[in-house]
Amino acid sequence: MSAQPLTDFSRLAVHTFTTKPWNLAQACDNYAAAGIPGITVWRNVIEELGAEAAGSLIRKSGLEVAALCRGGFFPAFSAADRQKAIDDNKLAIDQAAAIGAPMVVLVCGAVVGMPLPEARKQVTDGIAACLDHARAAGVKLAIEPLHPMYAADRSAVNTMGQARAICEALQDPLVGIALDVYHVWWDEALSEEIRLAGEQNTLFAFHVCDWRPDTRHLLTDRGLMGEGCIDIKGIRAAVEAAGFNGWNEVEIFSEAHWAKDQRQWLSEIKQAYLNYV
């Protein structure tokens, strides 16, 4: 399956972490100047300003917010720590509402020494505990399955199927899935899970980057689209066939790319977006 080629930037959103050296004002100015209409905001860049000021800065730039990253990290050994996580997720929901983000992306969490099924149960319970707050704020919650290399301490939710199981347990239109090609490209069930997510209206977000076969770091060596081995066009075709018509969000953590002039980096991203997404 192959996607219709992208010929413009109308569905391009860039994560602030992709241009980590920039603060929020610099990101907004430069994305807008480059004709990039969407921004996904990481909490580190709003925390220096406060959510209200960040919201007005973004509104002034004319950019549309695709999402707030990130909430989650629900599992913990003590009830007090689990409650702390729930409170932090409610704060993230408030921040999302303040900046006009329709959803909070969840990196669900895992704790070394806790069996993964127990962690997934705590994730489900943690999301459930945030739902009334999310409903009142009008903010959705997108579970992002993370590559299994992160199962020890970042996320016990490692496949689209595991994310779907949580969605099915909670049965709430506010709960869905953020599909990041970096995390799920290898999964033989991917096409079928995308089809099911389309059917269940749970496909909330689509993140792109690439997997470098000679990856040098598990967190900060993502490739620009075209630098790796992911069939990004094929996955985009599948998500669009499943009814997804939202943002194509570029999310790249890369020491190598952060070391560049960030305006140059942004123009490389735009070119790669047209060629490889």
Q: 4-37: buried (b, 16+ CB within 10 Å) or exposed (e) per residue? A: eebeebebbbbbbbbbbebebeebbebbbeeebb
Give yes or no for residue 180 binding Zn ion (CB under 5 A). yes
Q: Report if residue 207 touches Zn ion, rule: CB under 5 A.
A: yes
Residue 105 beta carbon to Zn ion: minimum distance, rounded to whole angstroms: 7
**Closer CB to Zn ion, residue 240 or residue 251?**
251
The full DSSP string for 139-184 is -EEEE----GGGTTTTBS--SHHHHHHHHHHH--TTEEEEEEHHHH
Sites for Zn ion among residues 250-269 (CB under 5 A) = 251
Residue nearest to Zn ion (CB): 180
Of 147, 139, 143, give the one whose Cα is nearest residue 168: 143
Of 180 and 193, the one with the shorter C-beta distance to Zn ion is: 180
Q: Is 15 in the site for Zn ion (CB under 5 A)?
A: no
Number of shown-chain residues binding Zn ion (CB under 5 A) = 3
Query: 139 or 250, CB closer to Zn ion?
Result: 250
Closest to Zn ion by CB, 82 vs 207, is 207
Residues belonging to the chain = 277
Contact call for residues 14 and 266 (beta carbons, < 8 A): yes
Q: Least distance to Zn ion from the beta carbon of 207, Å?
A: 4
Residue 108 CB, nearest approach to Zn ion (Å): 12
Structure tokens at 35: 């004709």
Name beta bridge partners: 14. Answer: 39, 250
CB of 84 vs Zn ion, minimal distance in Å: 24
Return d(Cα 197, Cα 106) in angstroms, integer. Answer: 17
Residue 120 or 183: the one with the smaller Cβ distance to Zn ion is: 183
Q: Is the CB of 82 or the CB of 145 nearer to Zn ion?
A: 145
Assigned token pair, 110: 């895992």
- With contacts defined by CB under 5 A, name the span among 44-52, 54-62, 109-117, 172-180 that binds Zn ion: 172-180
How far the first Cα of the chain sits from its last, in Å, is 13
Distance from C-alpha of 68 to C-alpha of 91, rounded to nearest angstrom: 11
Binding segment (CB under 5 A) for Zn ion, from list 132-140, 148-156, 187-195, 243-251: 243-251
Give whichever of 57 and 178 is closer to Zn ion, judged by the CB atom: 178
- What's the min distance (Å) between Cβ of 178 and Zn ion? 6
Sole window of 27-35, 121-129, 180-188, 215-223 interacting with Zn ion (rule: CB under 5 A)? 180-188
Asked if 193 touches Zn ion (CB under 5 A), the answer is no
Tokens of 231: 């069939």
Q: Is the dihedral of CA 156, 125, 67, 245 positive or negative?
A: positive
Q: Which residues bind Zn ion (CB under 5 A)?
A: 180, 207, 251
